[in-house]
Amino acid sequence: MPREIERKFLLKNDLWRSEVSRSRPMSQGYLASGGRASVRVRIAGSEAWLNIKIGGLVASRQEYEYEVPLDEARELMAAAEGPLIEKTRHFVERGGVTFEIDEFHGDNAGLIVAEVELEREDAPFPRPPWLATEVTELRRYYNICLVTHPYRAWTEAERNP
């Protein structure tokens, strides 16, 4: 069974930008979301995927991802619930690990979150000096939650975990 083990972090500063190896804009929309499962479509350039996550908003959950034709992905995106998530994903390689840094746009502009996918939950990984507070356990930082409660609507307390 495919499993995603992912930890999320805020960033202390912009020093990570000098380490970016590549970036790509992405759009994603949620077709279905429930307590423990979500189905989304994601478009990045000329590539598109259908993604299913099962297990709730936790560090380790089942994940299934399938490439879909771009024209079909656009049709699915039009059927998405709520607004789309728009972001640029930046890739930073550090100590054999890839940090995916999502810089959000639109209603979520100003939010930047670093994610690292691991082989197991207790796997060690480098802690670059620009990495700050871990927010893996805070629901509001998950993309699916940003659809219904975007960053622009957060209180000052929500912005400072």
Buried b or exposed e, range 3-37, using 16+ CB within 10 angstroms:
ebbbbbbbbeeeebeeeeeeeeebbbbbbebeeee
CATH class of 3-159: mainly beta
Map out the domains of the chain as residue ranges: 3-159
pLDDT at 68 over 90: yes
Instruction: Kindly name the residue from 30, 141, 142, 151 that is annotated as catalytic.
Output: 30
- Tens digit of pLDDT for each residue in 10-67? 999 999 999 999 999 999 999 988 778 889 999 999 999 999 988 755 567 788 999 9
pLDDT of residue 59: 61
> Please, are residues 106 and 86 in contact by the beta-carbon 8 Å criterion?
yes
- Tens digit of pLDDT for each residue in 137-157? 998 998 988 999 999 999 999
Whole-angstrom distance, CA of residue 12 vs CA of residue 38 = 30
pLDDT at 91 over 80: yes
Long-range contact pairs involving 123-129 (C-beta distance under 8 Å, separation at least 24): 123/5, 125/95, 125/97, 126/94, 126/95, 126/97, 128/16, 128/19, 128/92, 128/94, 128/99, 129/12, 129/15
The pTM score is 0.91
Burial class for 69, CB neighbours closer than 10 Å (0-12, 13-18, 19+): exposed
DSSP designation for 107: G
66 is catalytic: no
Instruction: Report the chain's mean pLDDT, rounded to a whole number.
Output: 91
pLDDT of residue 101: 98
Q: How confident is the model at residue 104 (pLDDT cuts 50, 70, 90)?
A: very high
